[in-house]
Amino acid sequence: MRKHSFFIPSGPPFNYVQTMKRSSTIYLDHASGTNLLPGVKDRISDWLESGMANPSSIHQEGRRSAADLDEARTGIAEVLGCKPSEILFTSGATEANNLVILGSAEALRDKGRHVITCATEHPSVLESHKALEKKGFQVTYLAVDKNGDVDPEEFRDSITDDTIMASFMWVNNESGLMHPIENLAQIARERGIRFHCDAVQAFGHIPIQMQNSGIDSLALSGHKLGAPAGIGVLYLRKGRTISRTSFGGSQEQNVRAGTPNHIGAISIAKAIKYHAAHLDVNTKKYVELLTHLQGQLKALPGIQINRDGHQYTPNILSCSFRQVDGEALFIRLDMSNIAVSNGAACSSGSQAPSHVLTALGFDENLAQASLRISMGIDTTKHEIDDFCRELEQIVTSIYREPK
């Protein structure tokens, strides 16, 4: 059980009455899940009006549903620069990561039992590799530098004759750090091993094209892009077989049995096409918001901005507070109707510090007093101003001067 240290705040008293009167939420947790895009809402409304049928059925209504799925698959393939047959629909990126990591390892078992990943990956990737270890595979978890980056040469040196696969995320979901994916994928291709990429936090912020990349598989998630939760995309390069982990029908190239999520598929296709078309304008907006945010955060006592000269996406900012009790910080943020996170949403409820921040060398207290601030396409400067004003009051009220 975590030990708590209690102290008397040295700053001005926190105004609980004023805080409890706030009714509007300042939502800055878009990396966990973001609002439905207007175009996605319209597409869902059209679908609700037209009714549905099982796309595997042979009657006219079934064929119409199948045509919708084909259209969604084709639209996504056009954006990613791949074939429609290489696009598979899943229940989300977690399932996509599970499917391809476990399925690829089983399919390649006779060629080797060694796989490589990184210590700061999403839990869906880390837990998949832990499952492989229980099946007799050897896993190398590459360490990261103080910024969370992977050394491509260390990756190259970790590949052995027994290595069959590597998996790295494109953008870290807690820090926003961009890994050198093209470089890592090229090394994997040169050494003849399969390369998977969790691109959940990258798409919509980085141009992604599959055709000339060394990436063999890639995962995307609907609710990070403005589509409903419960839909994901797995890109699987032609010729890269994976063993089945579910059984029943022959849907999704005989990889994932079960009736496809029709409404989810057309929704994520709409969202993917939107983000591809608006990449430049949205990136410009995020950069402006980030600059505005950082300018105000730097004045707060004890703050540490967790960016140090590497490439980051502009929509995610990680910061930490020294001499601040993390539990008090999050309680008061929540009381102020401010939605931010400490790390990955799938790890919420855990009192353990973020595994990402721990891998970066943060001690427990600093990791617990860390915020992930993530912006969406509807975030405004006014919202940033309100957040920074509330955060300043909270941090000042609980900050302890170092002894």
Q: What is the 3-state secondary structure (H, E, C) of 243-279?
A: CCCCCCCCHHHHCCCCCCCHHHHHHHHHHHHHHHHCH
Q: Terminal CA-to-CA distance of the chain, rounded, Å?
A: 27
Asked if the model's pLDDT at residue 29 lies above 50, the reply is: yes
- Cα atoms in the Cβ-side hemisphere of radius 13 Å centred on 213: 25
What are the catalytic residues?
A: 346
CA 343 to chain centre: 11
Q: Is 38-277 in the same CATH topology as 16-30+279-398?
A: no
pLDDT of residue 121: 97
pLDDT of residue 245: 74
CA 154 to chain centre: 24
Can you read off the two tokens belonging to residue 105? 């390892």
Of 360, 371, 307, 356, nearest to 169 by C-alpha is 356
Cα four-point dihedral sign 372, 313, 34, 388: positive
pLDDT of residue 109: 96
pLDDT of residue 342: 84
Architecture of the domain defined by 38-277: 3-Layer(aba) Sandwich (3.40)
- pTM here is 0.90
Mean pLDDT of 109-119: 97
Please give the DSSP secondary-structure letter assigned to residue 177: B
Place of tokens 């008293």: 13
371-375-379 Cα angle (round to 5): 130
pLDDT of residue 392: 96
Contacts of 251 (CB under 8 A, 6+ apart): 56, 257, 258, 259, 260
User: Which residues, listed in sequence order, are joined to residue 303 by a DSSP beta bridge?
Assistant: 321
pLDDT of residue 255: 81
Asked if the model's pLDDT at residue 2 lies above 50, the reply is: no
The domain limits of the chain are: 16-30+279-398, 38-277
Mean pLDDT of 225-246: 93
pLDDT in tens, 120-146: 999 999 999 999 999 999 999 999 998
Query: According to the CATH classification, is domain 16-30+279-398 in 3.40.50.1370?
Result: no
pLDDT in tens, 189-221: 999 999 999 999 999 999 999 988 999 999 999
Q: What is the mean pLDDT of the chain?
A: 90
Of 385, 370, 387, 323, nearest to 11 by C-alpha is 323
AA identity, residue 83: K
Mean pLDDT of 23-30: 90
Asked if the model's pLDDT at residue 4 lies above 90, the reply is: no
**Ordered strands of the 114-118 beta sheet:** 87-90, 232-236, 217-221, 194-198, 163-169, 114-118, 138-142
pLDDT in tens, 73-111: 999 999 999 999 999 999 999 999 999 999 999 999 999
